[in-house]
């Protein structure tokens, strides 16, 4: 049953992206304002899937790579819904949907072939749960920062080319994208800091996953510090945020 | 009549001054058979919307009224007249900006609203006009939100402003520098100011001219030898000098960008020969547009809007199909006419009188 929710969530994001892309290309953009309803519908299906998996394991459902990917996708959608409007970046949702779709597709395939089944904890440690949840929420913010970086790139390219296409007029100003990028990196780092602090209170001794979280935290803190001191140009910051998120994803796959 | 049917010489003669609209409204409503009226008089059109149980006669009387009051010579003006659904369709197109000189412009929407408000205050509207105009506001909004009629720029000035907004977002905090106090610079700067640009610095070889333009734009003037020192302070540079060589160089902007700590710079070069070296556009965070590129964007914008006309008309038709009965409830049926026609006043033996 849980798999059905995941499939429904994945199809919702795919459908939402196709609709948004068609609307952007269309002469008559009748399909407008669907980003939020699509994100909410997808989030509900994701939540139902994660709830089912949580009940299966009796703890936070991040016991395998597929669940981690779905949790990160869920975090990305949560972050978009919480911050997209405040940052005046409704299109961020459209650009996030392909990434969320891809993550969840990988998760569906993985669970179909390699689902290891229930993995109940020996003892339930709330600090461990807090560490894991905060870290993955941070990954959501970093993922969205990566998407904002891609959007900055696209808009910068259109401005430089002198031939703005139809997408140009629907995209947000590059200053808003650059500002959102920095804020998302800061929010992600704040969440990851909470996650890392929680790790110090855990009953278990730190393992590889904690060291990896620390490495990701260090990478992002360095990025923010360099930006604060030297004011990195937005283009370089975009590249760095995309690269940093790719690194964060690689560290996840190593878990 | 409007900008499509009459040249400016005619339009300015028929234009009804804002303060005399209530007087004309009262006079029109005093005409036999006309029970309600709204006068829409802008620089591009003079239109009278009226309600009558006998539209053909009412329209004839309205034309006579215009001839009598505005010294129109026989055959001089091509009036258009619409009845019933065609009249509603025309008003909906006007409110949507489809009948405007700049396709899709938004000013007309406010002008239609004001014309209706004036008629309401004068007491020349009742059920039919109220319903018709309120529906025209709904359609105007619907067309603008559900089509791309407002998308893209249609002039060099609006292209520059639209690009600036795509770089900086709201222009509230943006500072602008003008190098060369020409007419195009003035127009572009005014467009930027109208969208909220904060301050203007003007520099020109003739300092008197710089001061003159700065005073007009409520900005400040700097001597031509000193403009380079202001580069750090501005976000947008509009250059239009008559210099035969590049005035703004790559090296100069590279140095400035190192000090700007990641803030973008938008350069608009409307001079021919060009004032700004092309390579400036290669610098990160710097966006350079010359006059050809802006004209190209404006031309593409116009084409894009023209393509949207059919989509907009579909929205209006759909609205009339869905809400047609409501929109036209109480409006008289066409007296067997086609609904729309263009007429020229018959050569008349009556003497023409000035208003």
Record the tokens describing residue B259, joined without a space: 């000090």
Checking if the pLDDT of B42 tops 70, the result is yes
Provide long-range contacts, Cβ within 8 A and 24+ apart, for B278-286: B279/B250, B280/B248, B280/B249, B280/B250, B280/B253, B281/A160, B282/B250, B283/B250, B283/B253, B283/B254, B283/B257, B284/A233, B284/A235, B284/A236, B284/B257, B285/A233, B285/A234, B285/A235, B285/B257, B285/B260, B286/B253, B286/B257
The partner residue sitting opposite A28, judged by closest CB among B147, B264, B284, is B147
CA neighbor of A156 nearest in space, from A235, A236, A53, A38: A235
Per residue in A175-214, pLDDT (tens digit) is 999 999 999 999 999 999 999 999 889 887 777 777 888 8
Distance from the A32 Cα atom to the nearest Cα atom in chain B, whole angstroms: 8
Among the residue ranges A40-44, A65-69, B339-343, the one predicted with the least confidence is B339-343
Q: Do A235 and B285 touch (CB under 8 A)?
A: yes
The closest CB to that of B167, out of A27, A30, A159, belongs to A159
Q: Which residues of A touch B294 (CB under 8 A)?
A: none
A231 and B262 in contact by Cβ < 8 A?
yes
- Whether B338 shows a pLDDT value over 70: the answer reads no
Q: Which of B43, B174, B230, B312 is catalytic?
A: B43
Q: What angle separates helix A174-199 from helix A65-83, to the nearest 10 degrees? A: 130
Residue B6 reports pLDDT greater than 90: no
What's A123's DSSP letter?
A: S
| CATH number, residue B101 | 3.30.460.30
Nearest to B289 among A162, A231, A232 (CB): A162
Same domain flag for B175 and B280? yes
Condensed to tens digits (0 to 9), the pLDDT of residues A15-34 reads 999 988 888 777 666 556 77
Q: How far apart are the first and last CA of chain B?
A: 18
Range of the domain at B69: 8-146+332-343
Ramachandran angles phi, psi of B291, nearest 5°:
-60, -40
Residue A99, pLDDT > 90, answer yes
Express each pLDDT in B227-274 by its tens digit. 999 999 999 999 999 888 899 999 999 999 988 888 899 999 998 889
Query: Is the pLDDT at A88 greater than 60, yes or no?
Result: yes
Degrees (nearest 5) of the Cα angle A219, A224, A228? 150
Contacts of A172 in chain B (CB under 8 A): 169
What residues have CB less than 8 Å from B151, skipping those under 6 apart?
A: A169, B301, B304, B305, B308
Residue of A nearest to B291 (CA): A162
Token code pair at residue B172: 């509230």
Residues of B in contact with A168 (CB under 8 A): 166
Contacts of A164 in chain B (CB under 8 A): 163, 166, 297
Q: Is residue B276 part of a domain?
A: yes
Q: Does any domain span residue B285?
A: yes
Chain B positions in Cβ-Cβ contact with residue A174 (cut-off 8 Å): 166-167, 264
Q: How far is A176 from chain B (nearest CA, A)?
A: 7
How does pLDDT run across A106-141, given as a tens digit for each residue? 999 999 988 888 888 777 788 988 988 899 999 999
When pLDDT is cut at 50, 70 and 90, the band that residue B117 belongs to is very high
Q: What is the pLDDT of residue A243?
A: 94
pLDDT at B352: 32
Of A28, A172, A178, nearest to B311 by CB-CB distance is A28
User: For residue B333, what is the DSSP state?
Assistant: P
Residues contacting B261, CB < 8 A, separation 6+: A231
CATH class of domain segment(s) A122-255: mainly alpha
pLDDT at position B183: 85
**CB-CB neighbors (< 8 A) of A155 in chain B:** 166
Are B1 and B45 contacting, i.e. CB atoms less than 8 angstroms apart?
yes
B181 and B120, same domain (yes or no) = no
pLDDT in tens, B268-310: 999 888 999 999 999 999 999 999 999 999 998 898 899 899 9
Indicate whether B316 belongs to any domain: no
**Chain B: residue nearest A24 by CA?**
B148
Tell me which chain B residues have a C-beta less than 8 angstroms from the C-beta of A163.
296
CB–CB contact A172 B169 (8 Å): yes
B-chain residue closest to A162, CA distance = B293
Nearest CB among B168, B261, B296 relative to A231 is that of B261
In the structure, what pLDDT confidence band is assigned to residue B351 with cuts at 50, 70 and 90?
A: very low
Contact A9/A49 with Cβ under 8 angstroms? yes
B177 touches B238 (CB < 8 A): yes
Q: Of A24, A27, A152, A171, which to mutate for an interface test with B (greatest number of B Cβ within 10 Å)?
A: A27
Strand partners, B222: B203
- B48 shares its domain with B86: yes
Are B165 and B195 in contact by the 8 Å Cβ rule? The answer is: yes
Distance CA A13, CA B198 (A): 42
A53 and A67 in contact (C-beta within 8 Å)? yes
pLDDT of B349 > 50? The answer is: no
- Chain A interface, mutation test: which of B142, B146, B166, most A Cβ atoms within 10 Å? B166
Whether B343 shows a pLDDT value over 90: the answer reads no
Q: What whole-number distance in Å separates Cα of residue A98 and Cα of residue A121? A: 33
Query: CB of B120 within 8 A of CB of B131?
Result: no
* Band of pLDDT at residue B115, cut at 50, 70 and 90: very high
Q: What is the pLDDT confidence band of residue B75, given thresholds at 50, 70 and 90? A: confident
Instruction: Determine the Cα–Cα distance for residues B240 and B180; give it in Å rounded to an integer.
Output: 5
To probe the interface with B, which of A164, A166, A172 has the most B CB atoms within 10 Å?
A: A164
Q: Is B71 exposed, middle or buried (0-12, 13-18, 19+ CB in 10 A)?
A: middle
For residue A180, the distance in angstroms to the closest alpha carbon of chain B comes to 13
The angle that helices A91-114 and A65-83 make with each other, rounded to 10 degrees, is 160
CB–CB contact B264 A174 (8 Å): yes
Paired strand residues for B81: B341
Distances (CA, A) of A89 to A72, A144, A178, B187: 20, 11, 11, 31
Instruction: Provide the number of structural domains found in chain B.
Output: 2
Return the residue in A24, A152, A159 with the most chain B beta carbons within 10 A, the one to mutate for interface testing: A159
- The reply to whether B167 and B138 lie within a common domain is no
Instruction: Tell me which long-range contacts B204-209 makes (C-beta under 8 A, separation of at least 24).
Output: B204/B179, B204/B180, B204/B241, B205/B180, B205/B241, B206/B181, B209/B181
Q: Could you tell me how far CA A157 lies from the centroid of its own chain?
A: 24
In this structure, is residue B198 part of a structural domain? yes
Separation in Å, CA of B117 to nearest CA in chain A: 31
- What interface predicted TM-score (ipTM) does this complex get? 0.86
Nearest to A173 among B147, B168, B296 (CB): B168
Q: For residues A78 and A101, give the distance between their C-alpha atoms in angstroms, rounded to a whole number.
A: 15
3-class SS at A54? Answer: helix
DSSP H or E stretch at residue B48: strand B46-51
Q: From CA B116, how far away is CA B106, in angstroms rounded?
A: 16
Counting one residue from chain A and one from chain B, the pairs whose CB atoms sit within 8 A come to 64
Tokens representing B8? 């400016």
Q: How many CB atoms lie within 10 A of CB B125?
A: 25
pTM over the 0.90 mark: no
Please report whether residue B350 resides in a domain.
no
| pLDDT tens digits along B168-217 | 999 988 999 999 988 888 888 888 998 889 889 999 999 999 999 999 99
Considering only the beta carbons, identify the residue of A88, A159, A171 that sits closest to B287: A159
Amino acid A139: pLDDT: 93
In angstroms, the CA B88 to CA B264 distance is 47
A147 preceded by a cis bond (ω within 30 of 0):
no
Q: What is the CATH number of the domain that holds B246?
A: 3.40.50.720
Q: Which chain A residue's Cα is nearest to B292?
A: A162
The 3 state secondary structure assigned to B86-150 is HHHHHHHHHHCCCCCCCCCCCHHHHHHHHHHHHHHHHCCCCHHHHHHHHHHHHHHHHHHHHCCCC
Instruction: Tell me if residue B230 is catalytic.
Output: no
> Chain A residues with CB inside 8 Å of B314's CB?
28
Q: What is the pLDDT of residue B22?
A: 95
At residue B220, φ and ψ (nearest 5 deg) are: -130, 155
Chain A residue numbers touching B151 (CB-CB < 8 A): 169
């Amino acid at each position: 049953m849980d798999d059905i929710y995941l499939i429904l969530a994945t199809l919702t994001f795919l459908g939402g992206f196709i609709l948004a892309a068609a609307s952007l290309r269309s002469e008559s953009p009748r399909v407008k304002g669907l980003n939020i309803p699509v994100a909410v519908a997808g989030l509900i299906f994701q939540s139902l899937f994660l709830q089912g998996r949580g009940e299966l394991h009796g703890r936070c459902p991040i016991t395998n790579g597929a669940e981690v990917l779905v949790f990160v996708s869920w975090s990305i959608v949560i972050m978009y819904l919480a911050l997209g409007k405040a940052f005046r970046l409704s299109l961020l949702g459209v650009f996030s949907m392909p990434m969320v779709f891809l993550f969840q597709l990988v998760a569906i395939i993985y669970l179909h072939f390699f689902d290891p089944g229930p993995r109940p904890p020996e003892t339930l440690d709330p600090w461990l749960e807090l560490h894991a949840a905060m870290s993955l929420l941070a990954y959501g913010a970093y993922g969205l920062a990566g998407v904002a970086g891609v959007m900055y790139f696209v808009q910068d390219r259109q401005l430089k080319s002198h031939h703005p296409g139809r997408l140009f007029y629907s995209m947000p100003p590059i200053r808003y994208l650059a500002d959102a990028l920095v804020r998302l990196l800061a929010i992600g780092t704040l969440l990851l800091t909470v996650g890392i602090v929680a790790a110090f209170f855990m009953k278990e001794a730190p393992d590889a996953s904690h060291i990896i979280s620390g490495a990701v935290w260090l990478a992002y803190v360095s990025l923010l510090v360099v930006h604060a001191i030297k004011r990195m140009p937005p283009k370089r910051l975009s590249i760095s945020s995309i690269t940093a998120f790719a690194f964060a994803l690689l560290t996840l796959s190593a878990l | 009549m409007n900008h499509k049917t009459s040249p400016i010489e005619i339009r300015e003669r028929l234009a009804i001054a804002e303060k005399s609209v209530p007087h004309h409204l009262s006079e029109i409503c005093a005409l036999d058979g006309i029970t309600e009226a709204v006068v829409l008089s802008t620089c591009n059109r003079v239109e009278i919307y009226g309600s009558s149980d006998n539209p053909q006669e009412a329209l004839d009387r309205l034309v006579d009224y215009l001839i009598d009051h505005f010294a129109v010579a026989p055959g001089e003006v091509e009036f258009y007249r619409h009845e019933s659904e065609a009249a509603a369709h025309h008003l909906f197109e006007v409110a949507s900006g489809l009948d405007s000189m700049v396709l899709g412009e938004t000013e007309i929407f406010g002008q239609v609203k004001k014309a209706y408000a004036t008629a309401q205050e004068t007491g020349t509207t009742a059920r039919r006009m109220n319903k018709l105009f309120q529906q025209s506001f709904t359609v105007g909004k619907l067309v603008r939100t559900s089509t791309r009629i407002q998308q893209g720029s249609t002039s060099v000035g609006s292209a520059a402003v639209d690009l600036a907004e795509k770089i900086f977002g709201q222009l509230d905090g943006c500072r602008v520098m003008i190098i060369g106090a020409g007419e195009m610079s003035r127009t572009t700067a005014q467009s930027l100011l109208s969208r909220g640009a904060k301050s203007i610095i003007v520099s020109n070889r003739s300092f008197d001219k710089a001061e003159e333009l700065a005073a007009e734009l409520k900005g400040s003037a700097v001597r031509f030898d000193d403009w380079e020192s202001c580069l750090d302070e501005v976000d947008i540079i509009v250059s239009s000098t008559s210099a035969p060589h590049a005035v703004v160089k790559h090296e100069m902007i590279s140095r400035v960008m190192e000090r700007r700590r990641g803030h973008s710079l938008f350069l608009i070069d409307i001079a021919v020969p060009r004032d700004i070296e092309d390579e400036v556009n290669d610098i990160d965070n710097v966006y350079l547009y010359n006059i050809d590129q802006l004209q190209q964007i404006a031309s593409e914008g116009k084409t894009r809007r023209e393509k949207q006309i059919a989509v907009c008309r579909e929205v209006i038709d759909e609205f009339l199909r869905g809400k047609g009965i409501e929109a036209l409830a109480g409006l008289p049926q066409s007296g067997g006419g086609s609904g729309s026609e263009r007429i020229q006043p018959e050569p008349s033996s009556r003497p023409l009188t000035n208003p």
